[in-house]
Amino acid sequence: MESFGGVLFPGGLHTQESLKLAVDFPFRDTDVLIVSYPKSGTTWMQEIITLILGRGDPHLSHTVPNWARAPWLEHHYFAELQEASSTQPRVFTTHLPNHLLVPALQEPPGSNVKVIYVSRNPKDVAVSFYHFHKLAVFLPEFSTFEEFLHHFLDGRLCYGSWFDHIKGWTDQRRAPSNLLHVTYEEMSLDLSGTIQKVSSYLRRPLVEDEVNSCVKHCSFSSMKVNKMVNYSLVAKDIMDHSKGSFMRKGKVGDWKTMFTEEQDEYFNSVFKSKMDDCALDFVWEE
């Protein structure tokens, strides 16, 4: 693992140089930026935005990998990234915490970037991230969920603390003023309504048939079999698909199948102390 700006990153995936370029990225006002803590529904939002920009037409979703449609800021080198996004407007994705990226987002001509922050209840994030550590060769593997949970609650994981991430990006004094906050749970409970909300924010209103087509193509069952988005195209030395599936369960409340009563109590006590100064509400189950 690499440390950059006080946060851990997977050294096998990002370098100091690529991280430095990411935090200094020269945005344009027309850009769209998806921001999330890992396992919060990032890939889902990439798919939703591709479909909205295509007015429900799945052509790009079925022919171009998601990482080319909405490339990761922290993965790329500058020249690559300038050309990377295959959509119009350019769409980028990042897991960077607020303190590392906000300076670049305040700098004209990038101060009007449309930032979409995607969050998910942290118990489901923890379970999904635990399984992802088995699949992702660039992340350390934990032998038990108990051990992983302590790392998660202490913020000793790649991309840092979930608590700092969400608080940084949703605090109105620190976050970009035009940020749209979308939750995994609202996508899950009302996908059509969420697509309309995002399409209005992007100023790309859709008619009913177009919304329905977006819903169809970004459902869990469609995305699970779409190799342009299910990460099956990624080399085995980056993701070992014999260890699990990226599109794993796609559920709200799956944490209940994993947490013991003691783990839940411990989680709740840490959550209460760390989120005391944060007014966000979370949906914990369907």
Residue in 128, 183, 213, 263 binding ligand A3P, rule: CB under 6 A: 128
Q: In what order do the strands lie in the sheet with 91-94?
A: 91-94, 32-36, 114-119, 180-183
* Amino acid at residue number 20: K
Cβ distance to ligand A3P smaller for residue 38 or 110: 38
* CA–CA dist 113, 201 (Å, integer): 12
Q: With contacts defined by CB under 6 A, name the span among 15-23, 38-46, 51-59, 273-281 that binds ligand A3P.
A: 38-46
Active site residue 151: no
Total residues at interface with ligand A3P (CB under 6 A): 20
Scanning 42-50, 141-149, 258-266, 278-286 for contacts with ligand A3P by CB under 6 A, the matching segment is 42-50
14, 75, 76, 95: the catalytic one is: 95
Q: Using the rule CB under 6 A, which residue among 41, 71, 110, 122 binds ligand A3P?
A: 41
Q: Cα–Cα distances in Å, from 145 out to 21, 162, 184, 199, 260? A: 34, 17, 22, 38, 10
Exactly one of 18, 21, 36, 160 binds ligand A3P (CB under 6 A); that residue is 36
For ligand A3P, the closer CB: 44 or 142: 44
Does 44 bind ligand A3P (CB under 6 A)? Our answer is yes
Token pair belonging to 220: 């869990």
- Which residues in 256-285 contact ligand A3P (CB under 6 A)? none
| 248 makes contact with ligand A3P (CB under 6 A) | yes
**Which two structure tokens, joined as six digits, stand for 277?**
């100064």
Buried-state track 6-37, b at ≥16 Cβ within 10 A, e below 16: ebbbbeebbbeebbebbbebebeeebbbbbbb
Residue 40 binds ligand A3P, judged by CB under 6 A:
yes
210-217's contacts with Cβ under 8 Å and 24+ in sequence apart are 210/55, 210/56, 211/56, 212/56, 213/51, 213/56, 213/57, 213/58, 214/48, 214/51, 214/52, 214/56, 215/191, 217/47, 217/51, 217/56, 217/58, 217/61
Rounded to 5 degrees, what angle do the CA atoms 14, 159, 246 make? 80
Binder among 14, 38, 56, 130 for ligand A3P (CB under 6 A): 38
- Interaction between residue 39 and ligand A3P (CB under 6 A): yes
Closest distance to ligand A3P from the beta carbon of 41 (Å) = 5
Which range, of 15-23, 41-49, 104-112, 167-175, touches ligand A3P by CB under 6 A? 41-49
Q: Count the residues in the chain.
A: 286
Q: Which of 32, 49, 149, 247 binds ligand A3P (CB under 6 A)?
A: 247
Catalytic site residues? 95
Residues that bind ligand A3P (CB under 6 A): 36, 38-44, 124, 128, 131, 218-220, 223, 247-250, 254
